């Protein structure tokens, strides 16, 4: 139990000895209306402040009742700046006899991972090459220009239209990888500049919302492949994933769709529809409901530019159909790349692991090559990206040997696959989960 002192939203009397708390007490405060967490053995009451958290209240709430030290360091680039927000929330510290890690998490792995992070910092692996990202932006804009030139010079026949759509889809995918860099604060040292350019890239170049992306994507990073915490594994009853979920659905006789055929209908409703339908609806709804007017203006600027450019060639209806065809092509590329690193990995309920182990269990890599790096926006280094979200992607290959070494020390599997195998594993994983569902549905 807590000992002495004020347990309100931030102790103010620094002359009074700091209250101390046990993990048993801290873990009780993991409700939506009562949230405590621990960073560097300090205990913070984030109940009221979580709604003002720039990354969204859900991502910070996922660590309520836990040690959030490694997540805190992983997500925040300017620790001196964000620490100012923590001071009013401080209510005490862990009791001296309490371990730094909750729920028996491996403290030795945690110490070694933090030493690895310090080594990466000393190697300047968190320092970005601004020319690298400038060239990425330039090649996106160049493709936009090539697309316009193609239809402008060759006309709006079928062949120029398909070529233009493919070029635009490539531009959209590459802009997607680029906004991902800025969204993770991995380009500029100052967060403000990352946020500003992020809004430009995701808003003006893609027609999406920075806040929508932040609130969704950071949850995925905080608790990857964890049901009820990672939105990327919330399949809305369309698919069942991993081993636990299909068995649960089967036992409860839940059959929203024939899940034993999900590896087949994935081709019909997965890659083709995610961006043109689900994401598009979710983005627009989120901006309006949350009154994200700045993001909405950025998104409108994208659509205005697109229709001003292509309505003269296709008319209003034609331009709308053309836009959705581009989204259709982009969606295939996006889904296959983003799922090849995660869907074949462990997907389960909250296991309460240390940061290093939790990220390794949910991610795998794809072999490095110039094409794979470009094709996936360096997300073929998904392990390194998840361990160090603010690290510039051009440095992932430099930190990878250190990560492999730590995995070897503790017998943790470091999975790295050829690109084709990683893509095929998506289907194999869906098929396996579907078979587990069918067996449980029929026999349990």
Assess if residue 11 is contained within a domain. Answer: no
Give the separation between CA 232 and CA 363, rounded to whole angstroms.
13
Say whether both 175 and 152 belong to one domain.
yes
Domain that holds residue 89: 20-104
Whether residue 10 is contained in a domain is answered as no
pLDDT at 9: 52
Both 217 and 308 in one domain: the answer is yes
Angstrom distances, CA of residue 166 to CA of 158, 172, 293, 295, 323: 12, 10, 31, 27, 11
Q: Are residues 79 and 111 in the same domain?
A: no
State the pLDDT at residue 2. Answer: 46
* pLDDT for 79: 87
148 and 257 part of one domain: yes
Long-range CB pairs of 125-130 (<8 Å, 24+ gap) are 125/388, 125/391, 125/392, 125/395, 125/398, 125/399, 126/77, 126/388, 126/390, 126/391, 126/392, 126/395, 127/392, 128/186, 128/187, 128/188, 128/392, 128/394, 129/392, 129/394, 130/187, 130/188
Please enumerate in sequence order all residues whose Cβ is within 8 A of that of 397, keeping only pairs 6 or more positions apart, or say none: 368, 381
Looking at the structure, do residues 124 and 149 belong to the same domain, yes or no?
A: yes
Please indicate, yes or no, if residue 217 is contained in any of the structural domains. yes
- pLDDT block averages, 10 residues each, the chain of length 444: 47 70 96 95 95 91 96 92 91 96 93 98 97 98 98 97 98 98 96 96 98 96 97 95 97 96 97 96 96 97 98 97 98 98 97 96 98 98 98 98 98 98 98 98 92
141 and 257 fall within a common domain = yes
pLDDT at site 14: 54
- Which residues sit opposite 35 in a β-bridge? 30
Sheet with 20-21: strands ordered across: 20-21, 90-94, 42-45, 34-39, 30-31
pTM over 0.85: yes
pLDDT at 6 (0 to 100): 46
Distance CA 33, CA 40 (A): 23
CA 233 to chain centre: 11
Domain count, the chain: 2
Instruction: From residue 63, give the alpha-carbon distance in Å to each of 44, 67, 71, 339.
Output: 11, 7, 9, 25
* Residue 83 confidence (pLDDT): 87
Beta strands in 154-310 (DSSP E): none
Q: What is the pLDDT of residues 350-391, one digit of tens each?
A: 999 999 999 999 999 999 999 999 999 999 999 999 999 999
């Amino acid at each position: 139990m807590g000992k002495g002192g004020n347990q309100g939203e931030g102790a103010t009397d620094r002359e009074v000895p700091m209250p101390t708390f046990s993990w048993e007490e801290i873990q009780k405060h993991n409700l939506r209306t009562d949230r405590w967490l621990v960073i560097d053995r300090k205990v913070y009451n984030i109940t009221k402040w979580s709604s003002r958290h720039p990354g969204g209240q859900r991502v910070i709430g996922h660590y309520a009742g836990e040690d959030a030290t490694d997540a805190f360091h992983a997500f925040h680039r300017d620790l001196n700046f964000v620490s100012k927000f923590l001071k009013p929330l401080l209510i005490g510290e862990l009791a001296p006899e309490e371990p730094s890690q909750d729920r028996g998490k491996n403290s030795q792995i945690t110490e070694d991972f933090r030493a690895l992070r310090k080594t990466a910092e000393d190697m300047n692996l968190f320092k970005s090459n601004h020319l690298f990202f400038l060239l990425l932006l330039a090649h996106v804009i160049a493709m936009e220009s090539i697309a316009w030139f193609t239809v402008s010079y060759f006309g709006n026949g079928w062949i120029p239209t398909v070529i233009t759509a493919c070029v635009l889809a490539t531009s959209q995918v590459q802009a997607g990888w680029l906004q991902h860099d800025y969204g993770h604060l991995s380009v500029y040292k100052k967060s403000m500049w990352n946020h500003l350019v992020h809004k430009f890239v995701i808003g003006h170049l893609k027609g999406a919302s920075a806040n929508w992306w932040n609130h969704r994507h950071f949850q995925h990073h905080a608790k990857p492949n964890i049901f009820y915490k990672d939105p990327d594994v919330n399949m809305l009853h369309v698919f069942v994933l991993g081993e636990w979920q299909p068995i649960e659905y089967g036992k409860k006789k839940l059959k929203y769709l024939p899940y034993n055929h999900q590896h087949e209908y994935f081709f019909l409703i997965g890659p083709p529809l995610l961006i043109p339908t689900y994401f598009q609806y979710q983005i627009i709804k989120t901006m309006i409901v949350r009154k994200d007017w700045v993001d909405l203006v950025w998104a409108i600027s994208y659509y205005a530019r697109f229709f001003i450019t292509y309505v003269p060639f296709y008319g209003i209806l034609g331009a709308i159909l053309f836009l959705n065809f581009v989204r259709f092509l982009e969606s295939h590329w996006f889904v296959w790349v983003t799922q090849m690193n995660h869907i074949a990995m462990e997907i389960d309920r909250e296991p309460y692991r240390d940061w290093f182990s939790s990220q390794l269990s949910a991610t795998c890599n794809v072999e490095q090559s110039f094409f794979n790096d470009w094709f996936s926006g360096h997300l073929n280094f998904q392990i390194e990206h998840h361990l160090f979200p603010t690290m510039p992607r051009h440095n992932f290959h430099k930190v990878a040997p250190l990560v492999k070494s730590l995995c070897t020390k503790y017998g943790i599997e470091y999975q790295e696959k050829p690109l084709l195998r990683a893509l095929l594993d998506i289907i194999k994983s869906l098929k396996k989960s579907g078979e587990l569902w069918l067996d449980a549905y029929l026999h349990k």
